[in-house]
Structure 1
Amino acid sequence: MRTLLSARLGADFAKLWAASAVSNIGDGITMAAGPLLVASVSSDPALIAGAAFAQQLPWLLFALVSGAYVDRLDRRRLVVAVNLARAVALAALAVTIATETVTVAVIYAVVFLLGTGETLADTAMNALLPSVVVADKLPAANARLYATFTIGNQFAAKPLGAWLFVIAAAAPFGLNALTFAVSAALVAGIRPTSAPQPQPRASLRGEIIEGMRWLWRHQLLRTLAASMGLGNIAFCAAFAVFVLYSRQRLGLSDLGYGFLLTTFAVGGLLGTAIAARLVRAVGSAAVLRTGLVVEVVTHVTLAVTTSPWVAAGILIVFSIHGMVWGVTVASLRQRLVPSHLLGRVGSGYALLDLGGATLGSLLGGVLASAWEITTPFWIAAVMMTVIAVVAWRPLARAAL
């Protein structure tokens, strides 16, 4: 596999791909073991939920600032430094677990540091890719990275993380520390073929404003960013109550619910397999427009069906679209945004993405409590219809 990647996308991409694969497995292990760790320390549901919020909070607080620093600093060295720092934090957490001195406060502090590092490393990795892979290979490169995430993080790592926690509670966190160290070593070996040209240095606030202003003035990327943010409000409002929907509407058991969730991973994996070829065959504009239609159809189907099989089928289609959309948008952004602005524009996307998801999750529970369990899906369908109508013409520019 590595030889094939090196031949088609270059040896440096092979290192980047391997680093992403290793760290994604480590992240998935911690995602499974983390809630188990908090639950072993406290039975308070609020404290358990708070750990997830502590890891998400840095994106709301630091996303734009992190993007500015990604554009200021050497991106390769930044990823290496952040991954080493995350390795140290996880190793320290593993020691407190092994010595039975771990507390909720310690867990919160570590996951907050991990989340902060994520705002820097993820943004820098996305901005680093165009300096490693030539422009016309970006869709293929992004598809491989997305596939790695789906296989490593979603399929393999989570059951492994739970199993390791049962064997030895400190083991999954120690292993994740090792994956970050290996990832840092791999990225350190990359020699980008291009780098951002030096730009006149402004204040941090001025640099952030420059990036957001550039994004706002670019019609296509502005449309995509707004569609992503509003679309995540619709999606997360509907899927925030998905476990209750599965029980009450589809009549599934907890085990059935777990199997239904695997449709996201199955569809995502299929999406990564066809994304680059689909973009080449029909063009970015057709892919993006079709994606908006798929979103509307998905929400309507889930609102009207009571069949688990129909729900599973439409979720696979939706997940294929989600992966193809992600690959297409990431590749467009990496090709259209000037290299020295990639970090700031990318962090602006991330802020809209997470902000929409957070707002949608809050709205979903309120809507389902006030009306019916299917109400969030109907509202999501209406929202996505409006988004599709407004975005339809601007998305034609993706063909250019």
Structure 2
Amino acid sequence: MTSRMPQRFYRIWSASAVSALGDGIYFAALPLLALTLTHNPILLGAMEACALLPWLCFGMIGGALVDRWDRRRTMVLADLFRFALLVVVTLLVMSGSADIYLLFAAAFLLGTGQVLFDSASIAYLPEVLQDRDLALLQRANSRMQGAQQAFGGFVGPPTGSLLFGLGRAVPILGDALTFLFSAVTTWTLPKTPAKPAKPRGSLLREAREGAAYLFKNRLLVGLSLRPAVGNFAFLGCNAVLVLFVKDTLHLGTTAYGIYLTANAVGALLGSAVAARTAARLGTGTSLTATAVLEALALLGIGLAPNAWIAGVGELALGLGMGVTMSLAPAIRQAVVPDELMGRVGATGRLIALCAGPLGALFGGWLANVAGVRAPFIVGAGILATMTVIVGTMTNNRTIEAALAEAKARREGSADENGAETGTEDSAGALAVA
């Protein structure tokens, strides 16, 4: 029987939803702001890469810190840092002091905050639920993804485009306020139990422990490799998306924001059907099917003769991504020990994102030499190749075996703790006697 969703989950859900709204506003407004500063596709690709570079620089260290620190407090401080950063950017844009290199720096620093926040939030969700049941984790991740897509992908982009029309700094300030709301809401969640004191080694050694755990597990490697290849393809397309939409599909600023919602609508639908799809097909088969769908959708976008066909491709692409982003994190949360969750999650995220900056630069270069359709077509081929390779690593049989092993480990740990408690109680009784 599936456990009920605890009430405290909806607080972290609301914080995620409002923060996602700000991300959607920022996602639409930042490229528009960048276009007022440069039309160079290589520079646009470099700006996209800057947001992901922090994962390459210290993603694994961030995971080790998250396993040391209180995860709730880490999320709050990361949000407050990003709020303050965007307030500064807003003031610089309003004063006319902004240039493309300021956006590079802002993207890098926002990515730094994201390293800590995302590593903490992935590890914190099982604490909020107080349950490692895969079905419950899939439901929780589906609702989180649904909120992020509804607000971040459906409401946020057109709002960002409209706010940009009011002033270049307005959407940046709006995003800053959403980080403040998220910090305050997350702070109201119950404090997590203090972690038992134990000798600590170096951060690098602890980070290596998380990496070693992941690389020894075929399933976890597959779950990380798939988004790594996907991010290379997707960010190669995102780097030139604003040029593709405005110069090739001939859409205006407002229509650009609306176009972005097609992907979000698909992702919203995907997150809504993810748990039921996994229950019917199995989680592994569902992940393979969505990978095929994403490759076909990206090819369709690249070959689309008009904005309507491209929009259908974005819808299908979002559908596949929505299912994937709901199911894959739940598997990791169900099988990884809590004391390693931050490090393993950060290592997996690092693998997933490490190809992103290269993809963004590659996409910008490819568009410069072969046209803005090329990143979409080449990306589709890359995704198809990835599907064949990774499908055998994340199939139903592999996932079921990993879940059984994790359940046995937790039950064994509970038995050991119970035995130790019983021994202590007996000793205490003898002492009293």
TM-score (norm 1): 0.83
Q: Any unmatched runs of 5+ in structure 2?
A: 402-433
Alignment equivalent of 2:63, drawn from 57, 60, 67 = 67
Aligned residue number for residue 29 of structure 1: 25
Could you tell me how far 1:314 is from its partner in structure 2? Answer: 4.8
256-265 or 109-118, which deviates more? 256-265
Say whether the 8 Å CA contact 2:49–2:360 is kept in structure 1: no
* Equivalent pairs, count: 390
Q: Does structure 1 residue 80 correspond to structure 2 residue 80?
A: no
Q: Does structure 1 residue 254 correspond to structure 2 residue 251?
A: yes
Aligned residue number for residue 382 of structure 2: 380
Aligned residue number for residue 356 of structure 1: 355
**Residue type matched to 1:29 in 2?**
I
367-376 or 172-181, which deviates more? 367-376
Say whether the 8 Å CA contact 1:260–1:312 is kept in structure 2: yes
Cα deviation per residue 1:34-86 (whole Å; 9 max; x = unaligned)?
3444555x447466665444333222212111111111100001111121222
Mapped partners of 2:88, 2:380: distance in 1: 47
Could you tell me how far 1:284 is from its partner in structure 2? Answer: 1.2
Could you tell me how far 1:187 is from its partner in structure 2? Answer: 0.7
Could you tell me how far 1:252 is from its partner in structure 2? Answer: 3.8
Aligned residue number for residue 85 of structure 2: 89
Q: What SS does structure 2 have at the residue aligned with 1:11? A: coil
Percent of aligned positions with the same letter in both sequences?
Answer: 34
Say whether the 8 Å CA contact 1:57–1:112 is kept in structure 2: yes
TM-score (norm 2): 0.77
94-103 or 275-284, which deviates more? 94-103
Mapped partners of 1:104, 1:381: distance in 2: 31
Aligned residue number for residue 398 of structure 1: 399
Mapped partners of 2:102, 2:250: distance in 1: 35
Say whether the 8 Å CA contact 2:78–2:117 is kept in structure 1: yes
Aligned residue number for residue 184 of structure 1: 183
**Residue type matched to 1:397 in 2?**
T
Mapped partners of 1:55, 1:348: distance in 2: 17
**Residue type matched to 1:143 in 2?**
S
Could you tell me how far 1:33 is from its partner in structure 2? Answer: 3.3
Mapped partners of 2:233, 2:44: distance in 1: 26
170-179 or 182-191, which deviates more? 170-179
281-290 or 70-79, which deviates more? 281-290
Mapped partners of 1:242, 1:38: distance in 2: 13
Alignment equivalent of 2:14, drawn from 18, 43, 62 = 18
59-68 or 377-386, which deviates more? 377-386
Say whether the 8 Å CA contact 1:197–1:340 is kept in structure 2: no
Could you tell me how far 1:221 is from its partner in structure 2? Answer: 1.0
Cα 1:213/1:159, change in 2 over 3 Å: same
Mapped partners of 2:179, 2:232: distance in 1: 32
Could you tell me how far 1:127 is from its partner in structure 2? Answer: 1.1
Q: Does structure 1 residue 125 correspond to structure 2 residue 121?
A: yes
* Aligned-CA RMSD value: 3.5
169-178 or 298-307, which deviates more? 298-307
Cα 1:293/1:203, change in 2 over 3 Å: same
- 1:131-146 correspondence to structure 2 within 5 Å: 131-133=127-129, 134-136=131-133, 137-146=136-145
Could you tell me how far 1:88 is from its partner in structure 2? Answer: 2.0
Q: Any unmatched runs of 5+ in structure 1?
A: 1-6
Say whether the 8 Å CA contact 1:235–1:380 is kept in structure 2: no
352-361 or 128-137, which deviates more? 352-361
Aligned residue number for residue 265 of structure 1: 264
Alignment equivalent of 1:112, drawn from 108, 115, 120 = 108
Could you tell me how far 1:217 is from its partner in structure 2? Answer: 0.9
Cα deviation per residue 1:117-148 (whole Å; 9 max; x = unaligned)?
11111211111101001333211111111111
Cα 1:38/1:359, change in 2 over 3 Å: closer
Cα 1:77/1:154, change in 2 over 3 Å: same
**Residue type matched to 2:72 in 1?**
R
Say whether the 8 Å CA contact 2:76–2:186 is kept in structure 1: yes
**Residue type matched to 1:114 in 2?**
L
- 1:140-219 correspondence to structure 2 within 5 Å: 140-191=139-190, 200-219=199-218
Say whether the 8 Å CA contact 2:49–2:356 is kept in structure 1: no
Cα 1:38/1:289, change in 2 over 3 Å: closer
Alignment equivalent of 1:9, drawn from 5, 10, 18 = 5
Alignment equivalent of 1:56, drawn from 35, 52, 55 = 52
Mapped partners of 2:212, 2:191: distance in 1: 28
Say whether the 8 Å CA contact 2:294–2:316 is kept in structure 1: no
Structure with bigger gyration radius: 2
**Residue type matched to 1:387 in 2?**
I
Mapped partners of 1:224, 1:13: distance in 2: 25
Cα 1:111/1:225, change in 2 over 3 Å: closer
Cα 1:79/1:263, change in 2 over 3 Å: same
Q: What SS does structure 2 have at the residue aligned with 1:9? A: coil
Aligned residue number for residue 4 of structure 1: none
**Residue type matched to 1:186 in 2?**
T
Could you tell me how far 1:313 is from its partner in structure 2? Answer: 4.1
132-141 or 255-264, which deviates more? 255-264
Cα 1:84/1:353, change in 2 over 3 Å: same
